Amino acid sequence: MLICQISDLHIKAERKLAYQRVDTAGALERCVEALRALDPQPDVIVVTGDLVDFGRPDEYALLAELLAPLRQPVYLIPGNHDEREALRAGFPAHDYLRQWAPFVQYAIEDWPLRIVALDTVIPMASGGELCAQRLDWLERTLSQSPDKPTVVIMHHPPFVTGVGFMDGVGFADPAPLAAVIRRHPQVERLMCGHLHRPIVQRFAGSVATTCPSPAHQIALELKPGGGDSYCLEPPGYQLHWWNGTALVTHTAVLGDWPGPFPFREGGELID
C-alpha cells in the first residue's frame, strides 16, 4: 500500500498570495499534477491540515476544485488554520468527516493499514491539543483493532522540534497521548504537518514524522530565540510505502530538476 501525504496547503480565496508572496493555489496545482504522474499511483492521499488559510467557505470551495483531478480517495484533517464546520460543508461527499461530532476524528478501515485521524485544533489558537474527550475516543478506537497495523494522522506534531517559534505554537502536553500510543503497539507511525518541513522523532514506542508543504517551508532556524520566518526552498510531499511488515517513508521534492541520468551506457559504468 502506498500512502501519499501532502500538508499545509494554505489555500486562499481568489488565489490570493499568502503573505503577499506565496502562490499557494499554483503550488497545489503543480503538486496535484506531479502526483497524477506518479507510477505507481498512491492508493490514498492524506492531507494533514492547514488545508486553507483562514477557514473560509470560499477557500474550501477553491481547495475542492484544486483537489478534484486526484483519482484516489483523499482524507482531510483540520489544522490550526482550518474551521471544522466550513471544512465539512465544503466537502459534502467526504462522509468520513462526519463520523464524530464535534471533532473531526475518524477511522478508515478500507486499507491494509488502518488510518486513524485526530483533530488537534483549538479554535482561534495556533497551538494544538488533544483534550480528554478526544484521547478517550483514540483509546477506544485503537482498542477496536489491536492487531491491524495503523497510522495516526494529526496536524500538530506531539514533540518539540527545536524550531523555537513553531514550538511556541506546538502541541500542548504530549504525555497523555504518549500513554495511549504506548498501549497500542500497532501504531506504526504518527504522520503530522504544521512544520512545513520533514522532521522525525521516536514517540512512545512508535515514530512521529512531519511533512513538507507543496508551497512554503518553515525556515530551518535552530538557534534559540531565532526569528519566525518561512522560505521558498524546494517544496515537497511524502510517500509512505507499507510493504506488509514495515512503513518506509520517502520525502520527494516538487519542481523540475535535471535528471534522471543513467549510471551505465551499453551495460558499462560511465567513468
Question: Which positions touch Fe ion (CB under 5 A)?
Answer: 8, 50, 79-80, 194
Q: Are the CB atoms for 49 and 7 separated by under 8 Å? A: yes
Q: State how beta strands 236-242 and 217-218 pair.
A: unpaired
CB of 211 to Fe ion, least distance (A): 10
Report the distance separating Cα 139 and Cα 249, nearest Å.
Answer: 26
Report the distance separating Cα 129 and Cα 120, nearest Å.
Answer: 5
DSSP annotation of 95 reads G
Report the distance separating Cα 268 and Cα 103, nearest Å.
Answer: 59
CB of 15 to Fe ion, least distance (A): 18
> Which lies closer to Fe ion via its Cβ, residue 141 or residue 209?
209
Report the distance separating Cα 211 and Cα 96, nearest Å.
Answer: 23
Q: What sign has the CA pseudo-torsion 13, 17, 22, 23?
A: positive
> Which lies closer to Fe ion via its Cβ, residue 189 or residue 194?
194
CB of 199 to Fe ion, least distance (A): 14
CB of 221 to Fe ion, least distance (A): 16
CB of 63 to Fe ion, least distance (A): 14
The number of angstroms, rounded, from the C-alpha of 172 to the middle of its chain's C-alpha atoms is: 19
Instruction: Give the Å distances, CA to CA, from 254 to 29, 41, 48, 122, 174.
Output: 11, 16, 18, 31, 32
Among residues 100, 88, 20, 22, the alpha carbon closest in space to that of 55 is found at 88
Report the distance separating Cα 225 and Cα 161, nearest Å.
Answer: 13
CB of 106 to Fe ion, least distance (A): 20
Q: Is 147 left (phi over 0), alpha (psi -120 to 50) or beta?
A: alpha
> Which lies closer to Fe ion via its Cβ, residue 150 or residue 210?
210
CB of 79 to Fe ion, least distance (A): 4
